[in-house]
Amino acid sequence: METTQQTDQRSAAERRRRDLLEAADRVVLRDGPGASMNAIAAEAGITKPILYRHFGDKEGLYRALAVRHTDALLSALRSALDAPAERRRRVEATLDTYLAAIEARPQVYRFLMHPSEGGTGGDQGFEAGQHSAPLLRRLGEELGKVIEERLDLGPGGAELARVWGHGVVGMAYAAGDWWLRERPCSRAQLVSQLADLLWGGLAMAEDRRGAPGL
């Protein structure tokens, strides 16, 4: 059983870790993929060896930030999916939630999804796709679970829900990435056009009995 002292030490370590992640967030918001461990340590008011003690290296810090932001995004997406509205509106709200998130914090998005843009060598960047692919897979798996819980897709529904989950995430990522770089239309227009593309299969599926619906 954990002693009171051990509990206090663990709580203090968790608070310290949150403080360091918040400092890292501030640097990422300013520098995007170019955020360095030196800059993050300076922002936190500590030395780089202390930062390494908590996260190991920049990849460890990256993974911690990725979990932090992915958890927040998944929570927002679930809220949009479960909002009291008809299905088409919830699909549009979910797409808009994702696009609004990357639009509001483009530097964070670039740090998470395009870390190699920060440069090469030292702690400046990562191999393209080394970490963004696992993030997209996690989002796809989580969305697949939500779809399976809310829609009755019949025999083979679990597999179909995973296909749809990864397909929707892949589409939203590719379209959102292109849109964020080129801004060819408004966010509302993109949401409507992507919802049109998705709507065929989602419109035909029945809600699962007892589930909140999709």
Q: What is the pLDDT of residue 183?
A: 96
**What mean pLDDT value characterizes the chain?**
85
**Count: domains in the chain:** 1
Listed as own residue / partner, the contacts of 122-126 with beta carbons closer than 8 Å and 24 or more positions apart are 122/36, 123/36, 123/37, 123/38, 123/57, 123/58, 124/34, 124/36, 125/33, 125/34, 126/58, 126/59, 126/62
Q: Is residue 200 part of a domain?
A: yes
Residues of the chain with pLDDT > 90, as a percent, come to: 43
Instruction: Indicate the angle between helix axes 48-55 and 37-44, nearest 10 degrees.
Output: 100
Digit-coded pLDDT (tens) for 102-159 = 999 999 999 888 876 655 444 544 444 566 788 899 899 999 998 888 888 888 989 9
Q: Is residue 94 part of a domain?
A: yes
Q: Is residue 78 part of a domain?
A: yes
Instruction: Indicate the angle between helix axes 157-182 and 87-104, nearest 10 degrees.
Output: 40
Q: Is residue 155 part of a domain?
A: yes
Q: Is residue 212 part of a domain?
A: no
Residue span of the structural domain in which 176 resides: 7-207
Q: Is residue 214 part of a domain?
A: no
Q: What is the pLDDT of residue 125?
A: 47
Q: Is the pLDDT of residue 84 over 90?
A: no
Q: Is residue 193 part of a domain?
A: yes
Digit-coded pLDDT (tens) for 28-43 = 999 988 888 999 999 9
Phi, psi (deg, nearest 5) at residue 184: -75, -15
Q: Is residue 203 part of a domain?
A: yes
CATH number at residue 122: 1.10.357.10
Q: What is the pLDDT of residue 95?
A: 95
